[in-house]
Structure formats: structure tokens, C-alpha cells
């Protein structure tokens, strides 16, 4: 049975709203762990407020943050899946439905980059990237609304045959530049290698990886552990007013490439907005995050 | 538990100067909010041309906070409010702080050194709101007492709103030249060599290479 336009539209619009109204379970766990660990009084109060705000938003169906950002979707299509209707149009129409019906209403954050005019619609909006899952009979969709607070501080630099030390130093420098501005405690996503565009894709896909899952390659898993401790030693703390928790997780991935090695770094704020859903070819929907 | 001070607005210079970086406060009274860069640029342009702002901001609180409102008849209702990144306004704020005579600036993420100097000179503090604190911060909304520049999108407008116990907010920059943001940035920069050194040691002895 093909996956219908109507199902894709309703699922993707629901995902966007859920991302605005609920903190993922693993991020809640990480915030609770930070609460237990934090000794600085103001940092503790800030974490308490974050946890209370997450609970209140979920209970009342309210937004955690007024910046609903731009909706971004990563769509991974199993090769055994069939569709009945346009996929991109379903996602675009789903977003339009959210804009028309959301309570409370969304602010106009979608911006024409040539005129800075604000609205809800625009070229290539929502931003959707596609991938193929060989042999799978389902579609996996990740929705991650991207706001200015954490989106602004992402960065990319292209190195030539860098050492691990140079790569790790660059990640730290990007974290220092973001400082108090990206709404810590953060999730940091790092993409190493491939090409200019592929490194950023790796960083983005890393940042939405479920927390607590280390990279399968032990060299990368070690780098993740090292960098998490290093980021927390910077001392920016919750909301960047000081404390022991600047990041909840650092996720790294890499790809083979040439000797010009791009390193991309991106951030999710403490709300860690992301929702993950699988739709089976028979139309069954399971929310995995 | 850190003590939270409730401040009644408007607050005079002595009260503002009594606050220290790291204090937690809540605010009760009227505040003015806008998250629009065009808004702050317009305020600055008017200030330079000697044009009075559409509402008197002297002695008031002007925050980098956006809001969504709905209009029912003549009445504006504020549905929610939440801060935006203040460093976006680094270029405009030093002159606005001096020229408008505001007692409170704020938003999230802090302001640069020129703003810190302006706040020290004029008796103004910067308050850090919880980014992504929309649900709880919005509980403080009591009523809208003025909406200006309504031709702009909702979060760009200058909105004057009465709040009750808004916060807690952290004093990020006080009126004595103390900035949590500058201190943390400098401290992180000073720690960086030691952090990198530790990373190198761990890389050499880490599980992956053992």
C-alpha cells in the first residue's frame, strides 16, 4: 500500500509542532543529569527553569521558544517504499497548515535572504534533504526546526591534511565563538571530511543523533568523549552565565575525502529540537523520538 | 538556593546601581520589548536626528524580547514573549543606552564592551532571560499598555507591557562595569591552552590508541 500525500502531510506537520512543544526524552535526561551535577547556584536555578519550562510547554501545548525557526526535514526513503502523491509538496503543505492553524500562532521567521522580508513561505521552504535506505520498507523523517540562537554560530573551515589536534582545536574555537549566545547547554555536531557540502551534512546529521549513542568507530567515540569534557571546561554554563554544563553531548562523524578536509560544526540549543518518525510502507507511523 | 530580588518598575538609578552581576531578579511593572533589528536601527536613526521615540524610554526597561500579539477591537493582547540574541544589536546599543537613558537592557547572550561602558556611565544593567523560556516567561504578562510601529511584523514592534514577577532574570552586566559575558569569554580563552594540552594528552593515551 503506497504512503499517501495526506499521511505525509499530516505526519510532517505534527512533527513540526511537536518539536516546538516538547524536549526529546534523551535531552530531558541530560538536563536532569546536569541539575544533579551543577553546584553553581545561578546555573542550578537556570537548569531548574529549563526543566520547568519544558514541563509547562508540554502540558499546555505551548511553545518552548518563540523562535519557531525554519522547519528542516531529513527524509530517508526506503527503496521498497512507494508513494501516492508528491512528497515535497506534502511537506510544504503540511507546514502551510501549521502556519494557518497553530495555536498560539507562529511568528514570521522565514526570511527572504535577498530582501530580508519576513513571512511564512519562500523559496525552498521547508528545507528538505533526501537520502535513500537500500532495501528498507519504511521512510524515516527527522524534523529539526532551526532558529537563530543556535543556528547563527555554525561554522565550516577547510583544512589541508589536518591532524586530530588541529580538528579538535577548531571545534573548541567555534564553541568559544558561540560562547553564551547559542542557548547552552548545547548539543554539538561535528562533520569531518568528504567535501564542502558533505561535511556540513555530517555535522547536521550528527547533531540530531540520539544522545547516548557513541559513534561506532572507537577513534571517533574517544574524540566525542574528549571534546564533551573539553567543551564543559570552557565554563560558559547554562544560558552562558557560568557553570559546569556548556554541552550535553558532542556527536562527531566523518567521511573519506581528499586531503582538503572540511570540518563543520553546528549546534542545537538546550531544547534540542528534533522529532523522528518512521512510516512503514503499510502506513503504520511510529514516533521513535 | 539563590535569593531572587523583586524589582518594581520604574526603578531609580540607586536601585539599579545596587544590583551586582550574578544577582537574580524578577520585574514587576512596565517594560518595553522588541526583537527587531530594523526597530533598533530606526530608534538610533531618530535619536541621531533629534526625533523623540514614539514612547518615552527614559528610565525604562528596553529588552531584546520578541512577542506575538493579537488585536481584539482596540485592544492588543500579548500571546507570548521570549528573548532574542542581544549581540545582534551590539552596533546600536551603546549609543541607544546613552541617548535614551534606559535603566535596563536585556535579552540573552550579553552585549559587547562598549555597551558595558555605556551602562556603567549611565547607570543601566543588562538582564539575561531564559532563551527558550517562552511558556514560563509569558506567565508574567498582565496587559499591553502600548504598541508602536504596527506596520512592522509582530516581534519587531515596540510593545509596552505590564508584567508581574517576570523572571527570574540574571544580572549579566551590572552598572559598575562588571560583565559575566566578558569574564567568561576571557576565562574560556585563558583556559584554552590547558584544555588543548589535556586533549593532546588524552589523545595520546586514549583507549583508541591503547
Q: Tell me if A107 and B2 make a contact (CB, 8 A cut-off).
A: no
Search chain A and give the residue with CA nearest B202.
A226
Residue whose C-alpha cell reads 524580547 in the numeric block: B65
Q: Is the ipTM of this complex over 0.90?
A: yes
> Do the Cβ atoms of B2 and A42 come closer than 8 Å?
yes
Which residue among B68, B110, B168 sits closest to A45, beta carbon to beta carbon?
B168
> CB pairs below 8 Å between A and B: how many?
180
> Do the Cβ atoms of B120 and B175 come closer than 8 Å?
yes
Q: Tell me if A63 and B79 make a contact (CB, 8 A cut-off).
A: no
Using a CB-CB cut-off of 8 Å, the residues of chain B touching A234 are 188, 191-192, 195
**pLDDT at residue B210, as a whole number:** 33
**pLDDT at residue A289, as a whole number:** 77
Residue B207 reports pLDDT greater than 60: no
Search chain B and give the residue with CA nearest A183.
B131
**pLDDT at residue A256, as a whole number:** 98
Q: How far is CA A98 from the centre of its chain?
A: 20
Average pLDDT over residues A59-80: 96
Q: Kindly report the pTM of this predicted structure.
A: 0.96
> Do the Cβ atoms of A109 and A127 come closer than 8 Å?
no
Local confidence band at B1 (pLDDT 50, 70, 90 cut-offs) = low
Using a CB-CB cut-off of 8 Å, the residues of chain A touching B66 are 66-67, 107
Q: Any idea where the domains of chain B sit in the sequence?
A: 4-178, 180-210
**Whose CA is closest to B105, among B65, B155, B153?**
B65
Q: Residue A104 has what DSSP assignment?
A: S
Local confidence band at A287 (pLDDT 50, 70, 90 cut-offs) = confident
Residue B50 phi/psi, 5-degree rounding, is: 70, 20
Q: What is the mean pLDDT of chain A?
A: 96
**pLDDT at residue A152, as a whole number:** 96
Percent of chain A with pLDDT over 90: 98
Write out residues 67-86 of A within 8 Å (CB-CB) of B. 67
CATH number of B4-178: 3.20.130.10
> Do the Cβ atoms of B159 and B39 come closer than 8 Å?
no
Q: Any idea where the domains of chain A sit in the sequence?
A: 3-22+64-147+273-287, 148-268
A28 touches chain B (CB under 8 A): no
Convert the pLDDT of each residue in B23-40 to its tens digit.
Answer: 999 999 999 999 999 999
Q: How far is CA A33 from the centre of its chain?
A: 20
Convert the pLDDT of each residue in A226-281 to its tens digit.
Answer: 999 999 999 999 999 999 999 999 999 999 999 999 999 999 999 999 999 999 99
Packing angle of the helix pair A218-233, B180-205 (nearest 10 deg): 150
**pLDDT at residue B81, as a whole number:** 97
Convert the pLDDT of each residue in B125-150 to its tens digit.
Answer: 999 999 999 999 999 999 999 999 99
Local confidence band at B89 (pLDDT 50, 70, 90 cut-offs) = very high
Amino acid at each position: 500500500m503506497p504512503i499517501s500525500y495526506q499521511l505525509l502531510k499530516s505526519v510532517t506537520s505534527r512533527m513540526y509542532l511537536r518539536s516546538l512543544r516538547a524536549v526529546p526524552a534523551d535531552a530531558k535526561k541530560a538536563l536532569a543529569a546536569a541539575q544533579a551535577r551543577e553546584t553553581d547556584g545561578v546555573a542550578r536555578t537556570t537548569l531548574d527553569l529549563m526543566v520547568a519550562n519544558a514541563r509547562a510547554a508540554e502540558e499546555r501545548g505551548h511553545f518552548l521558544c518563540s523562535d519557531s525557526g525554519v522547519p528542516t526535514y531529513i527524509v530517508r526513503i526506503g527503496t521498497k517504499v512507494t508513494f501516492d502523491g508528491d512528497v515535497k509538496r506534502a511537506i510544504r503543505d503540511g507546514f502551510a497548515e501549521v502556519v494557518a492553524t497553530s495555536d498560539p500562532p507562529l511568528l514570521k521567521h522565514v526570511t527572504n535572504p535577498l530582501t530580508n522580508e519576513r513571512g511564512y513561505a519562500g523559496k525552498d521552504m521547508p528545507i528538505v534533504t533526501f537520502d535513500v535506505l537500500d532495501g528498507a520498507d519504511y521512510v524515516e523523517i527527522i524534523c529539526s526546526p532551526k532558529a537563530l540562537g543556535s543556528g547563527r554560530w555554525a561554522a565550516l573551515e577547510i583544512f589541508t591534511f589536518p591532524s586530530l589536534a588541529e580538528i579538535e582545536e577548531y571545534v573548541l574555537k567555534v564553541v568559544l565563538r558561540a560562547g553564551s549566545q547559542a542557548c547552552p547547554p548545547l548539543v554539538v555536531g561535528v562533520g569531518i571530511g568528504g567535501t564542502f557540502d558533505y561535511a556540513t551534512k555530517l555535522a547536521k546529521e550528527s547533531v540530531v543523533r540520539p544522545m547516548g549513542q557513541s559513534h561506532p568507530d572507537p577513534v571517533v567515540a574517544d574524540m566525542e568523549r574528549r571534546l564533551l569534557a573539553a567543551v564543559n571546561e570552557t565554563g560558559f554554563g547554562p544560558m552562558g552565565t557560568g557553570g559546569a554544563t556548556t554541552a550535553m553531548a558532542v556527536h562527531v562523524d566523518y567521511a573519506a575525502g581528499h586531503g582538503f578536509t572540511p570540518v563543520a560544526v553546528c549546534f542545537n540549543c538546550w531544547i534540542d529540537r528534533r522529532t523522528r518518525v518512521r512510516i512503514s510502507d503499510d502506513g503504520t507511523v511510529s514516533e521513535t523520538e | 538556593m539563590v535569593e531572587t530580588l523583586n524589582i518594581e518598575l520604574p526603578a531609580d538609578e540607586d536601585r539599579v546601581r545596587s544590583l551586582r552581576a550574578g544577582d537574580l531578579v524578577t520585574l514587576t511593572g512596565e517594560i518595553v520589548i522588541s526583537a527587531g533589528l530594523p526597530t533598533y536601527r530606526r530608534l538610533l536613526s531618530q535619536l541621531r536626528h533629534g526625533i523623540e521615540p514614539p514612547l518615552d524610554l527614559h528610565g525604562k526597561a528596553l529588552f531584546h524580547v520578541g512577542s506575538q500579539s493579537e488585536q481584539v477591537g482596540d485592544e492588543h493582547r500579548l500571546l507570548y514573549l521570549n528573548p532574542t540574541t542581544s549581540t545582534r544589536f551590539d552596533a546600536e546599543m551603546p549609543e541607544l543606552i546613552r541617548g535614551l537613558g534606559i535603566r535596563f537592557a536585556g535579552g540573552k547572550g550579553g552585549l559587547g564592551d562598549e555597551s558595558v561602558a555605556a551602562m556603567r556611565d549611565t547607570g543601566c544593567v543588562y538582564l539575561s532571560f531564559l532563551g527558550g523560556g517562552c511558556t514560563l516567561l509569558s506567565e508574567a504578562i498582565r496587559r499591553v499598555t502600548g504598541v508602536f510601529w504596527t506596520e512592522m511584523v509582530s516581534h519587531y514592534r515596540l510593545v509596552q507591557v505590564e508584567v508581574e514577577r517576570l523572571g527570574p532574570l540574571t544580572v549579566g552586566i551590572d552598572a559598575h562595569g562588571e560583565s559575566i559575558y566578558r569574564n567568561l569569554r576571557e576565562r574560556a580563552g585563558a583556559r584554552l591552552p590547558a584544555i588543548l594540552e589535556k586533549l593532546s594528552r588524552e589523545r595520546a593515551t586514549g583507549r583508541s590508541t591503547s
